[in-house]
Amino acid sequence: MDLELGGKVVLVTGGSEGLGAAVARRLIREGAKVALCARGAERLEATAAALRAEGGDVLTVQADVSRAWEVEHFVDAAHARFGRIDALVNNAGAAAARPFASVSDAEWEADLQLKVFAAIRASRQALPFLKESGSAAIVNVLAIAAKTPGANSTPSSVSRAAGLALTKALSKELGPHGIRVNAVLVGIIESGQWVRRAQEVGKPVESFQQEMARHAGIPLGRVGKAEEFADTVAFLLSPRGGYISGAAINVDGGLSTVV
C-alpha cells in the first residue's frame, strides 16, 4: 500500500533510537522528509547517518524537549530547512513507574515536563505550519497505562492520561483546520530501554523479552516489534488514515484490558 507520504515533512521527537528511530526509518522508506530531535547528539547523528545511507533527507537537532526554548527551536529549524511541516510525532519520553508515596514533587514536575508540556509546546509551535499543510496530522505516543493505570504506576500513568486528554481535545479543535490528532498506546515493545535492562541483569535480550512477555501475560505471547509500532504511526500520519482522528489505538499484542 502506498501511504502517499512522499515529500511530506514529519517531525519526530525522541528520534535517536527505539520507537522514534523506527518511525523515522518507516517514513524515510515512504519517501517522507524527517526532522529528528533528541538529547544525545552522538546517538542522534548515528541514526541520521543510517537513514541518509538509505537515501533519506534528514535534519537533526540536539534538543531536550522538556525545555521550552529547545523544542520551539527544533520546530522552527525544521520549518526553516524544509519550508513546510505536515506532521508531528510527539514521541519523547521514558518509563517512570513507582509507588505514589515515593515520587517527589520534582519527579512529578520532570515527568510532566517531558511527557505533557513537551507535546503541548511542540504542537503549539508547529500549529501555524500544520494549518498551512491542508492535510496534517499529529500522533502522540503514549502507553496503555493512560487508559488502565495500575498500582505503582506513577508518575507515568498520570502523565500519559493527560496526553490522552490532550489528544482528544486537539482533535476536536484542530479538525476544522484539516489537522488530525491521534494517539498510539504502546504495551511492551522492543526498545533501547529493554536492551539496557537486559544488559543490567546479564541476560540475552531475546530471552529477557520472552520472560517479559510471559510475566506480563501478553495474549500474542511475545514482545512487539518496533517496526510494527512504526507501521501503525505511519498509517495514522498518512492520507490513507484520513478519516481517523481523536482515536487512541493500542499497539500491545492484546495486553490491555480495554479497547
The per-residue pLDDT for 1 is: 87
Q: How far apart are CA 58 and CA 8, in angstroms?
A: 12
Q: How far is CA 109 from CA 72, 156, 158, 232, in A?
A: 19, 11, 12, 30
Confidence class for position 174, pLDDT limits 50, 70, 90: very high
Q: Do residue 204 and residue 149 come from a single domain?
A: no
Question: Cell 498520570, residue?
Answer: 158
**Residue 138: which CATH number?**
3.40.50.720
Tell me the C-alpha distance between 143 and 252, whole Å. 9
Per-residue pLDDT tens for 60-119?
Answer: 999 999 999 999 999 999 999 999 999 999 999 888 999 999 999 999 999 999 999 999
pLDDT in tens, 18-62: 999 999 999 999 999 999 999 999 999 999 999 999 999 999 999
Q: How many domains does the chain have?
A: 2
| Residue 193 in this model has a pLDDT that exceeds 80 | no
In a domain, 1, yes or no: no
**pLDDT value at 183 more than 80:** yes
Range of the domain at 148: 9-189+224-251
Residues 98 and 122 in one domain: yes
Write down the residue that cell numbers 494549518 correspond to: 131
Same domain, 184 and 194: no
Sequential DSSP letters for 28-97? HHTT-EEEEEES-HHHHHHHHHHHHHTT--EEEEE--TTSHHHHHHHHHHHHHHHS---EEEE------E
104 lies in the same domain as 37: yes
- The residue with greater pLDDT, 146 or 192, is 146
Radius of gyration of the chain (CA): 17
